[in-house]
Structures are given as structure tokens and as C-alpha cells.
């Protein structure tokens, strides 16, 4: 299915509005303490990504011509709250969705060549899979702590794709960065 930038972005914004009507993003005060801490980390990371996008992916969206690039951010509650707080401060063609919401949209309006969007994601895993946990054991935590893995990335097709995973510890009241760029990939 072929679409131009204007149609794609209009449909994405309509889809996003429908998603928010049926599943509103919670307020910061509704988040648990761990999720509020994750929100701060994700917000800083997201602002850095937005401010440091290479010029080839700059969000120079022109509403009249429909040219430019739309930024699609996917995350869980802490990340979407962070995006909601950032959005009014930036004049960007920017939408934030839960991952499954973007997947549904993408099935109907694919952009496999990344002509219309750049995809940014950021979220935490509070439980590590066995392989990641084996690697994480190089950074021991005590009995009162557990690992958190902050996963973030950006994709613009073959032109730009990279992901980072940062290892954190959580002791019930505080988080501590154990290893920045714990795992990473790029194309």
C-alpha cells in the first residue's frame, strides 16, 4: 500500500488519538516509585536522542507540503509519561505509543523503507533472561538489590539503526547505573 508522508502522518495521528481515547497515558503521580525513577532516566535519554538526531533524520516536517520525518516513540508507561512531558516543549512531528499500538498501525500503513518515520524506543526490563543475567553477573549486586536493564534504540532503516542496553541495580529505594552500554548493536 503506497502512501505519501502527509497521509501516513495524518493516519498515524488519528490512530494515536484513538489509542489514547481508549487507553490514556497515566499521570506521573499515578506511577509507582520505581516507574517514576525509570521515567527520569528515559526522559533524559529521549531528550538526548531528539536533540542529537543526525541532520539526515532531522524532523523538519512542513505541515503544508507534508515533507519531513515523523518521530515515533514506543515505550511502556514510564516512557510514555516522559514523552507526554517532553512533547509540549518541542515543536516536532512526534507521536508516542505503546509498542503493540504501533505494530497495529504499521500493519495497515507500512513504511518498511523508513521514508516517513524514525522509530525510537526506550523501556526497562525488571527481569533479565538467563543469558543476559549470566553476563550481568560480572557486575554483582547484593541480596537486597536486583538488576534492571534499560533498553533503548533508534531505527531509520539501513541508514541508521542502533540499540543500547544499560545495566542498573535497584535496591527498593534507589537506582544505580552499573554499566552504561552494557550491551549494544548497530548497523
Query: pTM here?
Result: 0.89
Mean pLDDT computed over 169-174: 96
**Predicted confidence (pLDDT) at residue 56 exceeds the cutoff of 60:** no
**pLDDT tens track for 4-27:** 888 998 999 999 999 999 999 999
Is the distance from CB of 68 to CB of 93 less than 8 angstroms? yes
The pLDDT of residue 127 is 94
What integer is the mean pLDDT of 69-95? 87
Res 2: pLDDT = 57
Segment 56-64 shows an average pLDDT of 47
Residue 159's beta-bridge partner residues? none
Q: Which of the pair, 51 or 176, is modelled with greater confidence?
A: 176
Banded pLDDT at 93 (limits 50, 70, 90): confident
Across 57-70, average pLDDT: 53
DSSP assignments along the chain, one per residue: ----HHHHHHHHHHHHHHHHHHSPPPPGGGS-HHHHHHHHHHHHHHHHHHHT--GGG----BTTTTBS-EEEEE--HHHHHHHHHHGGGS---EEEE-HHHHHHHHHHS--TT-SSEEEEEEEEESS--HHHHHHHTTS---TT-EEEEEEEEEEBTBT-EEEEEEEEEE-SS-EEEEEEEEEEEE-
- Indicate the domain borders of the chain: 5-186
State what percent of residues in the chain have pLDDT above 90.
72
pLDDT value of residue 103: 97
Predicted confidence at residue 66, as pLDDT, reads 42
- Average pLDDT (144-162) is 91
Please give the distance of CA 80 from its chain centroid, rounded to a whole number. 8
The pLDDT mean for the chain works out to 89
At residue 45, the pLDDT reads 93
Rounded to whole angstroms, the Cα distance separating 93 from 59 reads: 7
d(CA 18, CA 59): 24
Amino acid at each position: 500500500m503506497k502512501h505519501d508522508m502527509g497521509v501516513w502522518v495524518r493516519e498515524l495521528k488519528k490512530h494515536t488519538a484513538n489509542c489514547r481515547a481508549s487507553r490514556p497515558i497515566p499521570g506521573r503521580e499515578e506511577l509507582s516509585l520505581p516507574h517514576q525513577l525509570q521515567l527520569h532516566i528515559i526522559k533524559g535519554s529521549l531528550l538526548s536522542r531528539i536533540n542529537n538526531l543526525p541532520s539526515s533524520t532531522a524532523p523538519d516536517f512542513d505541515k503544508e507540503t507534508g515533507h519531513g520525518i515523523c518521530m515515533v516513540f514506543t515505550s511502556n508507561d514510564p516512557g510514555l509519561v516522559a514523552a507526554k512531558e517532553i512533547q509540549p516543549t518541542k515543536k516536532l512531528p512526534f507521536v508516542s505509543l505503546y509498542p503493540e499500538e504501533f505494530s497495529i498501525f504499521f500493519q495497515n500503513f507500512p513504511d518498511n523503507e523508513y521514508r516517513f518515520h524514525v522509530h525510537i524506543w526506550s523501556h526497562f526490563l525488571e527481569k533479565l533472561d538467563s543469558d543476559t543475567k549470566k553476563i550481568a553477573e560480572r557486575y554483582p549486586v547484593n541480596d537486597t538489590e536486583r538488576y534492571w536493564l534499560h533498553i533503548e534504540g533508534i531505527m531509520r532503516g539501513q541508514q541508521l539503526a542502533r540499540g543500547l542496553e544499560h545495566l542498573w541495580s535497584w535496591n527498593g529505594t534507589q537506582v544505580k547505573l552499573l554499566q552504561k552500554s552494557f550491551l549494544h548493536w548497530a548497523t
